[in-house]
Chain A
């Protein structure tokens, strides 16, 4: 059949640019939405008290589990209660402005309102305990906290990041068992 050159012209002059433009805009938008920065990788907000993990976990070598009580037994690692802070800070560094604010809050029976750094969507039911018990270390997801003066998110915490590790944990987690994998079905995390 003879090609319809008029139609072809119309296709080249009109439809092709439109399709290309739509495709480009889509790619751009998708790229923007899924960029690591949108995942808040590198997010390090200013906290109400300039608490330093570098000092506590790094220099003083306090174990993570000393303050994050729930990490081995609960879904949540849990932010320490003011009472836990005060265990040491009744005596330690009582002259620092942050500790003074902490003490005042504790005296009122209140808690400090920390800016949240790591957050998964509400429909994700991540459980710390299973991961810790499987031998995944804190720094596998949270980075080398012991060197962080200000807490920063280092992983994208995206579903891709989760699945990457669930598929081949032994490659991503140094020193883990050779056959370690996580479940990949939906209800493992979403319910």
Chain B
């Protein structure tokens, strides 16, 4: 039974999830190239990829609670891929800002990084994601041993920075940043409950 399940996962589950994760990027790119992102396509492309980066961070963080709730280990099989997609979307978001939005205006970009808290924070979140992406392979996991887990706890800080970044760039309407903050709060609560060893249900 478990052999069949693994087979299904490797042959169908993973490619399927991979394709689904890539879909937002493909759709956004297609619409950008075909001038279907409205009057200010660069703004929509940059912002949408950023939102997908945040969504994938939260999805990645929901794997462990999901595993605990289902009492099954298979969700863990997808965690690395989802985490790398979070990095992918944040990378596209940043590239879109640097290339499409600022068009390599380094003076302006540097001024943004040091003067604008939302850019400083967003950039920090990206920089902190790099070591996580680099050490996401099996080799680095083995090499880092217990430190791997310590290092990857950075994801909590990154998620907080990402939500703060969203809050700081919004003009008056805080609806969506609040939604993400609440979701992140829920994901943290799950973990706190576990660490405080409060029984779940029983």
The answer to whether A and B assemble together is: no
Residues of B within 8 A of A (CB): none
